[in-house]
Amino acid sequence: MELTFFQAALIFYLAATVGYVVLLFTSSLRTASISSTCCFIGLGVHALSFIHRAVVYGFFPLGTYFDALSFLAWLIVGLFILLERRLSVPVLGAVAAPLAAGMMLLGATFSYQTRGPIVPILHSWWLPLHVVFALAGNAVFALMAVGGILYIFQEWLIKGKRIGRLHRLLPSLETLDKMNRHGLPLGFCLMTIGILSGALWANSAWGQYWSWDPKETWSLITWFTYAAMVHQRIVLGWRGKKAAVLAIIGFVLVMFTFVGASTLLGGHHSISGPSVGASQT
Amino acid sequence: MKQEIVLVGLNHCTAPVAIRELITFPGNENGDTTKKFLSTKGVVEAIVISTCNRSEVLLVVDEEPHITKQIIKLISDVHGVPAESFSNFLYLKRGQEAVHHVFRVASSLDSMVLGEPQILGQVKDGYRRATYVSATGPILNRLMHKAFFTAKRVRNETGVALAAVSVAYVAVELAKKILGDLKSACVLLLGAGEMAELAARHLAGHVTNPPIVLNRTLENACSLANRLNGRADTLDTLNHYLLEADVVITSTGSCESLIQQDQVEKIMKKRRYRPLFLIDIALPRDVEPTVNELDGVYLYNIDDLQTIAAENLTERRQEAMSAEKIVEEETAKFMEWTLSLSCTPTLVAIRNRLEEIRRSELARSNGKLSNLTPDQREAVEIITRSIVNKIAHYPMSFLKKTRSRSKQSLYLDVAQKLFALGSETEVSAKEGDDREKKRRDET
C-alpha cells in the first residue's frame, strides 16, 4: 500500500515512454494520444500518492529525496502536459516522460520515511515554500533542457538536409526556441525565490542566512550560470543552438546541485539515507 | 429488378490532354448536366465528377441491356462530339470495381499527384451539384458518404498526403520548420526570375508582409514587385535588406556569388542571430555554400529541394500501400451493405406474407373469440404476433448473414419459392427502399 500509487504512476510514465518511442519510429498520432492519456492518468495517480504520503506523514511529504524527486517528476509531467496542450508538440514526451520516470527511479534508490519527520526543523511552513519553488524552478529548467535536446536534433536534421519523417515530426526551431525564451526568465525567478526562501528559513531555524554548505554553494553556482544565460540571451541575443546547449548544461548542473551535492559532499541538506536529519545544529 | 452501380469515365491515365479537355461536362454548375443523365431510361441515381484530370459519371442503373451505350451517346450529345472520338479512352466499372474506384479517387490515390488534397473537394462539389437536382438516392448517398469517410481515414491513418512533393512547397514547409509561423516573416527576392516568382507566390499565401524584390536593373525589380504587391530596390542595398529578411530567395544570373560567408557572419551578429533561411535557386549559385555552416543560417539550393521532393514522393508511394488496404476494407464493407440491400425486399415480403396469414386466421376465428374481453383480445394479438416473429427470425437472419453474392441470390430464390412470394417482391421493393432510407436517416 505504501508505494502502490507511486508504482502505478511510474508504470504509466514508463508506458507513455514506450508510446512516445513508438511515435518517434512511426509518427503514429494514435500512439501519441494514448501516451498523452497515460501521462495524464499517471499524473492523477501520482497526485494520489502525494495525498497518501501526506496523510501518513501528517505534513507536507517533501522532507526526503524520495519525496522530493517524486515531486519533481510530477512537476515535469504536469508542465509537459501543459506545453503539449498549448504547443501541440507530443514528441516532447519522448524525452520528458523517460526523464520523469528516471527521476522516480532515482528517488526509489533513496529510502523513504513512513512516519512524520523526526527532525523538528522539517516541520515548518518554510519547507513547502522553499522546496516547491526550488523544485518548480528545476522542473522548468528540465523542460528547457528537453526543448534544447530536440532543438539540437532538429537543427542537425535541417542543416544536414536530412528532411524526412523525423524532421516533420519534430516541432519547428522557433517553437523549441520559444520554450527556452519563456522558460529562462520563469525558471530563473522560481529558482531565485527558492534560494531566498531557503536563506530566510535558515535564518529563522539556525540564525544565519547562508552557511556555505555544499548544496548552497552549488546552488549559487547554478544560479550564476542561469543569470549568465539570461544576460547572454537578453544583451547579446544568444538564441537557438547556443541557448539550447546552455539549457542542457544548466540542467545537468541543476541535477548535480539537487541530488549530487548533498549526497556526495554532505552538509545540512543531506536529509535522506542512513544519516537522516539535518545535521547542522 | 436488380440495381447496379456503374461508373463511366476517363482520366489522366487513359486519355491524353486533348481528350480530357474535350470531355469536361460543362453546364453542371447547378446540376443540369447531372439531370440529363438522370432522365435516361434505367438510370435511378447519378453524380457527375469533373476535375482537371478526370471526368466521370457515377450512376445507379436498373438492369438494362444497352445502358452503357446510352450513356456514351449522352456524353457525346452533351459535348457535341462524336462518340468514336473518345469512347476508346473510357473505362467502365461496375459494382465492386466502381465502388473501389470511387473510394480511391476520393482518397487521392488515383490522382496525378499522389495524395494531393484538392480532389476530395472536387468530388464533394460533384456530389453537391447532384443533390441540387435530387439526383442521388439511398445508394449513392451512402456511397459518397462512405467515400468521404474513407478519404478521412486515409488522411488520418496514413502519411499519403503529408510530405511536400513540389519544390516550392518543400521550401514553404522548410521555412515553417525554421521560422515557425510565417505570418510576420519578411521575404526577400534577389533577381527577378521566373523560378523566384513561383516560390515567392507559394510563400505569399502564408506571409502577410509584402515581399522585397532586389535586382540589378530597378525596372525589372519594379515590374515583379508590382505583380507580387511588394517593394523594389537595386542590388546595392542588399546588406541593408539582409538585416530585415527572414527568407531570401536568390535567382540572379550573376557569375560570382552575391552572398559570402564573412558578410553573412557580420550580418548575423547585427541581426542578433535571428534565423535566416536562404534558398538559392540560381545557376551558378548566388550564395557561398559555406554559409550553411554559420549558426542560425540555413542554406538550401535547388538540388537539395528537388532531392527532398523526390524522396517525399517515394515516401508517399509507400504510404499509399497502407492506404490501399483501407480502401479495400471500406469497399468490402460497402459491398456487404449492398448485399443486405438486395435481400431487403424479400425479407419485407416474407414478413408481409406471414402477417397477412396471421390476420386472416385471426379474422376466421373471430366468431369464436367474440366473447373475449379487450384485455384477452390484446393478449391473443401479442401471442400470435410473437409466434410469427419467432418463426420468421431464423430464416431471416440466415438470409441477412449470407455474405456471398451468388449463394445469396440462390437462397433468396428458394425463400421466395418457400413462401410462394413470386411477383410480390417487386411490388415491395420500393417499400424496402423506403425502409432502408429510414434506417439510414436514423444512423
- Helices A4-26 and A93-108, axial angle in degrees (round to 10): 150
Domains held by chain B: number: 3
The answer to whether residue B319 is domain-embedded is no
Q: Which of A36-40, B88-92, B428-432 has the lowest mean pLDDT?
A: B428-432
Confidence at residue B32, expressed as pLDDT on a 0 to 100 scale: 84
pTM, full prediction: 0.75
Strand, helix or coil for residue A114: coil
Confidence at residue A115, expressed as pLDDT on a 0 to 100 scale: 61
B173: which chain A residues are within 8 Å (Cβ-Cβ)? 168
Instruction: Name the closest residue on chain A to residue B181, using Cα atoms.
Output: A174
Contact between A174 and B300 using a beta-carbon 8 Å cutoff? no
Same-domain status, B11 and B85: yes
Query: Binning pLDDT at 50, 70 and 90, where does residue A100 land?
Result: very high
A241: which chain B residues are within 8 Å (Cβ-Cβ)? 295-296
Confidence at residue B58, expressed as pLDDT on a 0 to 100 scale: 92
Instruction: Name the closest residue on chain B to residue A237, using Cα atoms.
Output: B272
Residue A16 pLDDT > 90? yes
pLDDT in tens, B18-73: 888 888 888 788 888 888 888 888 888 999 998 878 899 999 988 777 888 888 88
Average pLDDT for residues A138-162, to the nearest whole number?
Answer: 94
Residue B190, min C-alpha distance to chain A (Å)? 22
A173: which chain B residues are within 8 Å (Cβ-Cβ)? 177-180, 275
In order of A92, A156, A176, B429, the CA distances from B293 in angstroms are: 27, 11, 20, 74
- CA atoms of B399 and B412, how far apart (whole Å): 7
The answer to whether residue B192 is domain-embedded is yes
A245: which chain B residues are within 8 Å (Cβ-Cβ)? none
Give the CATH number, domain containing residue B230.
3.40.50.720
- CA atoms of B248 and B291, how far apart (whole Å): 13
Q: Which of A7-21, A87-101, B353-367, B394-408 has the lowest mean pLDDT?
A: B394-408
- CA atoms of A67 and A128, how far apart (whole Å): 12
The angle formed by the CA atoms of residues B180, B221 and B200, to the nearest 5 degrees, is 25
Confidence at residue B162, expressed as pLDDT on a 0 to 100 scale: 81
Instruction: Name the closest residue on chain A to residue B305, using Cα atoms.
Output: A161
The answer to whether residue B404 is domain-embedded is yes
Instruction: State the best of A29, A155, A158, A163 to mutate against chain B, taking most chain B CBs within 10 Å.
Output: A163
Contact between B178 and A168 using a beta-carbon 8 Å cutoff? no
B311: which chain A residues are within 8 Å (Cβ-Cβ)? 163-164
Residue B3 pLDDT > 70? yes
Same-domain status, B9 and B140: yes
The answer to whether residue B16 is domain-embedded is yes
The answer to whether residue B315 is domain-embedded is no
Strand, helix or coil for residue A82: helix
Average pLDDT for residues B353-380, to the nearest whole number?
Answer: 87
pLDDT in tens, B391-422: 888 888 888 777 777 777 788 888 888 888 76
Q: Which of A5-9, A97-101, A276-280, B319-323 has the lowest mean pLDDT?
A: A276-280
Contact between A239 and B296 using a beta-carbon 8 Å cutoff? yes
Same-domain status, B8 and B157: yes
What is residue B211's DSSP assignment?
A: P
Contact between A164 and B170 using a beta-carbon 8 Å cutoff? no
- CA atoms of B7 and B142, how far apart (whole Å): 16
Query: Binning pLDDT at 50, 70 and 90, where does residue A278 land?
Result: very low
The answer to whether residue B325 is domain-embedded is no
Same-domain status, B43 and B155: yes
- CA atoms of B302 and B196, how far apart (whole Å): 11
Contact between B178 and A175 using a beta-carbon 8 Å cutoff? no
A165: which chain B residues are within 8 Å (Cβ-Cβ)? 159, 163, 315
User: A with B: how many residue pairs have Cβ under 8 Å apart?
Assistant: 62
Residue B97 pLDDT > 70? yes
Residue A30, min C-alpha distance to chain B (Å)? 9
Last residue of a domain, one of B118, B147, B162: B162
Contact between A161 and B308 using a beta-carbon 8 Å cutoff? yes
Same-domain status, B102 and B149: yes
DSSP per-residue string spanning A153-179 = HHHHHHHTT--SHHHHHSPPHHHHHHH
Confidence at residue B371, expressed as pLDDT on a 0 to 100 scale: 83
Confidence at residue A117, expressed as pLDDT on a 0 to 100 scale: 57
Active-site option among B13, B52, B222, B255: B52
A180: which chain B residues are within 8 Å (Cβ-Cβ)? none
Contact between B273 and A239 using a beta-carbon 8 Å cutoff? yes
* Burial class of residue A24 (count of CB atoms within 10 Å of its CB; 0-12, 13-18, 19+): middle
More confident position, B366 or B128: B128
Confidence at residue A141, expressed as pLDDT on a 0 to 100 scale: 96
Strand, helix or coil for residue B214: strand
pLDDT in tens, A37-78: 999 999 999 999 989 888 887 778 877 888 889 999 999 999
DSSP per-residue string spanning A100-112 = HHHHHHHHHTS--
Confidence at residue A195, expressed as pLDDT on a 0 to 100 scale: 92
Contact between A236 and B272 using a beta-carbon 8 Å cutoff? yes
Contact between B307 and A161 using a beta-carbon 8 Å cutoff? yes
Per the structure block, which three cell numbers stand in for B364? 376466421
Same-domain status, B137 and B190: no
- CA atoms of B189 and B175, how far apart (whole Å): 15
Query: Binning pLDDT at 50, 70 and 90, where does residue B423 land?
Result: low
Residue B443, min C-alpha distance to chain A (Å)? 26
> Does residue B52 carry a catalytic annotation?
yes
Per the structure block, which three cell numbers stand in for B198? 513561383
Q: Which of A112-121, A168-177, B80-89 has the lowest mean pLDDT?
A: A112-121
Instruction: State the best of A91, A161, A169, A241 to mutate against chain B, taking most chain B CBs within 10 Å.
Output: A161
Residue B104, min C-alpha distance to chain A (Å)? 22
Per the structure block, which three cell numbers stand in for B353? 406474407
Residue A59, min C-alpha distance to chain B (Å)? 46
Residue A276 pLDDT > 50? no
Mean pLDDT of chain A: 86
Per the structure block, which three cell numbers stand in for B363? 379474422
Residue A249 pLDDT > 90? yes
Same-domain status, B342 and B283: no
Residue A171, min C-alpha distance to chain B (Å)? 7
Same-domain status, B173 and B282: yes
Strand, helix or coil for residue B7: strand
Q: Which helix (H) or strand (E) holds B94?
A: strand B91-94
In order of B37, B352, B361, B386, the CA distances from B383 in angstroms are: 51, 17, 13, 5
Contact between A172 and B300 using a beta-carbon 8 Å cutoff? no
Confidence at residue B430, expressed as pLDDT on a 0 to 100 scale: 45
- Domain with B371, as residue range(s), is 335-442
Last residue of a domain, one of B103, B132, B162: B162
Q: Are A268 and A280 in contact (CB under 8 A)?
A: yes
Strand, helix or coil for residue A3: coil
Query: Binning pLDDT at 50, 70 and 90, where does residue A146 land?
Result: very high
Same-domain status, B15 and B113: yes
In order of A49, B174, B209, B430, the CA distances from A4 in angstroms are: 8, 47, 57, 64
Instruction: Name the closest residue on chain B to residue A169, using Cα atoms.
Output: B177
Phi/psi of residue A113, each to 5°? -90, 145
Out of A76-80, B108-112, B374-378, the most confident range is A76-80
More confident position, B372 or A35: A35
pLDDT in tens, B223-270: 888 888 888 888 888 899 999 899 999 888 888 888 989 999 999 988
Residue A86, min C-alpha distance to chain B (Å)? 15
The answer to whether residue B50 is domain-embedded is yes
Query: Binning pLDDT at 50, 70 and 90, where does residue A2 land?
Result: low
* Burial class of residue B306 (count of CB atoms within 10 Å of its CB; 0-12, 13-18, 19+): middle
Same-domain status, B182 and B298: yes
Confidence at residue A116, expressed as pLDDT on a 0 to 100 scale: 55
Q: Which of A102-116, B212-226, B236-250, B360-374 has the lowest mean pLDDT?
A: A102-116
Residue B424 pLDDT > 50? no
Confidence at residue B251, expressed as pLDDT on a 0 to 100 scale: 86
Strand, helix or coil for residue A70: helix
Same-domain status, B143 and B175: no
The maximal CA–CA distance of chain B, rounded, in angstroms, is 113
Query: Binning pLDDT at 50, 70 and 90, where does residue A172 land?
Result: very high
The residues on B that touch A, with CB distances below 8 Å, are: 156, 159, 162-163, 170, 173-174, 176-181, 272-275, 292, 295-296, 298, 300, 304, 307-308, 311, 315
Instruction: Name the closest residue on chain A to residue B289, using Cα atoms.
Output: A159
The minimal CB distance from A172 to the residues B178, B273, B295 is found for B178
A240: which chain B residues are within 8 Å (Cβ-Cβ)? 273, 275, 295-296
Out of A184-198, A200-214, B311-325, the most confident range is A184-198
The answer to whether residue B78 is domain-embedded is yes
Same-domain status, B233 and B255: yes
Query: Binning pLDDT at 50, 70 and 90, where does residue A273 land?
Result: very low
B179: which chain A residues are within 8 Å (Cβ-Cβ)? 172-174
Confidence at residue B148, expressed as pLDDT on a 0 to 100 scale: 94
Last residue of a domain, one of B162, B184, B205: B162
% residues pLDDT > 70 (chain A):
90
More confident position, B199 or A158: A158
Sheet with B91-94, side-by-side order of all strands: B43-51, B54-62, B3-11, B91-94
